[in-house]
Amino acid sequence: MMTGFRLNLSPLKEPLGFIKLVEWLTAIFAFGTCAGFSGRNIISLFCGDGRNDTLTANFHYPFRLSLIPLIEGNTSLCNHTVSTTHLMGDASSSVEFFVGVGVVCFLYCMAALLVYLGYMHVYKDSDFGPILDFVITAILVFLWLVCSSAWAKGLQNVKDATNTDGIDATVAICKGGNVTCAVTEFANMRTLNLSVVFGYLNMLVWAGNAWFVYKETRWHSQKFASQSGPGRQQVPAPI
């Protein structure tokens, strides 16, 4: 069996190769829309004496909010001395898991495309290649479901920690008295919302690709042969 590299672009015209190219692109969009995010919320403190103060909440990937200072040192706000205060929450585990799955899929798609375009003759003549491809694809479908759900929950936690209710629970002088705190300018989280959408889209695309990879395995060919076998046995022998 010849195992040398043979460049052949025809697999890109078939579902097996074309979907792998789509997966490569959607993986880039998934982790690219959240990995470099940086946002800022402006919090206005309305003091009871008619004077206003302002706080700035800067947060960024990987969203370790509990390490981000909202108030540094002993700051005077509305005639109150407030000690160092950090934002609440930590979404780093979910977003890093999400980005990690995206990067793994990105690298696997490049490796798979290399095999499809250069070693398809070896891939089709081998039982191990298609089966390994199918098993990895099925695992990645599950990982996309888990990491997208985890990041969707983590993103909601980030939103809750940086909105007005979250700031009220974080800053001591906002919890009572005559000081009212409100987020008056919100960071644009559209790209983060898109990352969740791309996560679930990746799950659907990989699930669809699993069927086309399965068709390349001997499990599918054996099942097809067993279903067509009885039909051939019913053909009467010539007299």
* pLDDT reading at 232 higher than 60: no
Residue with tokens 């969009």: 29
Where does residue 89 fall: left (phi above 0), alpha (psi -120 to 50 degrees), or beta otherwise?
left
Three-state DSSP class for residue 198: helix
| Residue 27, in any domain of the structure | yes
What whole-number percentage of the chain has pLDDT above 90?
64
The enclosing H or E element of 167 equals helix 164-170
Cβ-based neighbours of 231, under 8 Å, separated by 6 or more: none
| Residue 236, in any domain of the structure | no
| Residue 75, in any domain of the structure | yes
Rounded to a whole number of angstroms, the CA Rg of the chain reads: 27
Average of per-residue pLDDT values in the chain: 88
Q: How many CB atoms lie within 10 A of CB 71?
A: 18
| Residue 208, in any domain of the structure | yes
| Residue 77, in any domain of the structure | yes
| Residue 48, in any domain of the structure | yes
Domain range for 172: 10-220
Instruction: Name the β-bridge partners of 58.
Output: 40
Query: Sorting pLDDT into bands at 50, 70 and 90, what band is 231?
Result: very low
The pLDDT value given to residue 51:
82
CA nearest to 60, candidates 29, 89, 87, 39 = 39
| Residue 201, in any domain of the structure | yes
| H runs (alpha helix) in the chain | 15-32, 92-118, 120-125, 128-162, 164-170, 190-214, 218-233
What whole-number percentage of the chain has pLDDT above 70?
90
- Nearest-10 crossing angle of helices 190-214, 15-32: 160
| Residue 225, in any domain of the structure | no
Number of domains forming the structure of the chain: 1
Query: Sorting pLDDT into bands at 50, 70 and 90, what band is 3?
Result: low
